[in-house]
Structure 1
Amino acid sequence: MTMGKPDEPGKTRTSRKKDASERLLDRELVNLPPELRWREWMLRVEAVIFAAAEPVSRETLARVVGKDCSIDLLIDDLREELKGRPYDIVSVAGGWQHLTRPAYASAIRASQASTGGGPPALSDFEAMVLVAIAYFQPITRGDLSKIFGKEVSRDTIASLRNANFLASGPRSPTPGAPYTYVTTKHFLIAFGMETLRDLPDIEALEDAGLLSRTAAAPDREFPDADDVEP
């Protein structure tokens, strides 16, 4: 009976398998001409993004290309090739994801095909509460009630939390120290945003009568769209 090689300190079985798989992949492709090398890197990056369930980070993509390869230039070339196609590679929540173009949303809905993405259905009021939290976070349920002129129920908050759009923020410094609410990374992914700076201009929502910054709390300064933290 032979003894196996002892485990490296701090290495789990999963991490060892991951290290081995990365060593087996020829990332540099030095034996290929430059044009074919770049093409192979493009195809690898597209394959990873296509297969992934969530936006793929720069660090993840760097594992399948050469160390001096520019991920940004690869993405630019891929997007150029996808012009005229009904889908694109989009920067979302700190990574990249394959998304269908908005112009084809109605066709996808009309087909009634089963799809793996898209935000869950929300009531009109739930959607507006989510919009208010996105702009005014961290915000308490009490402040949300002031914005809408009626109580925002715990059930409404629970529905948004169950959809993974909300998380608890810091306790409010107001009496009773109520919980505040903030949006999640999943919120960005579901609505195809890179950061909260991609939210529409809040003044347009105010002009349409959908939100009011001054109604929430007269002594609170609410941000403009450009001032929202990413």
Structure 2
Amino acid sequence: MTDETEDHGDEADTPRESLFEAPPMGEQERMVEAVLFASAEPVTVRELTDRMPHGSDPAEALAHLRKRYEGRGVHLVRVGDAWAMRTAPDLGFLMQKETVETRKLSRAAIETLAIIAYHQPVTRAEIEEIRGVSVSRGTVDQLLEMEWIRFGRRKMTPGRPVTFVVTEDFLDHFGLENARDLPGLKELRAAGLLENRPPPGAGTPGPESDDDDEDDATEGQSELFED
């Protein structure tokens, strides 16, 4: 009886083998690889352990996988306590994508640009006289920043005021060879660039400045002055 009891005690102290055999290491590498590729965020070893079959060793699989990806277009990198697949640093330029920012011009900017295009070289005072309202500095600065207008020669008049003219970038953007190719008034009205509204001063007095128009985006305008 004593010997049998001692034998049972020895069996209790001996660790039992797992009922499920862990997958081969090659298969574990495939599992880790699949999880990392499918995950939008880096994955920790603990998360891999919870997902993989019992008895798997994701840490060892990661070590093998990292070595296998050395020198390839995709690397296995450590991000804090987690792991992720990342593009090789020297190939990052292939992932760059240039985008064109669409900017809406205010009504004041469209009118100012049209006046410069049709009356160049034209001074600020002449623009204000044609529009019937003062031209804010922001309107001119926006057109200068877009490189659609530039400073022209100073006029040989008292004060030598500076003039504005359209640039080659402006002509190129709208597919024009020169300013003489600009559409006529009928085409501008048909395109919605000229509104059929009473001139400033008729009826209700017009505003003294176009500052209020700066944030008035020209939704629905033609592509001619919209970018």
TM-score range, shorter chain: 0.3 to 0.5
User: Higher Cα Rg: structure 1 or 2?
Assistant: 2
TM-score (norm 1): 0.38
TM-score (norm 2): 0.38
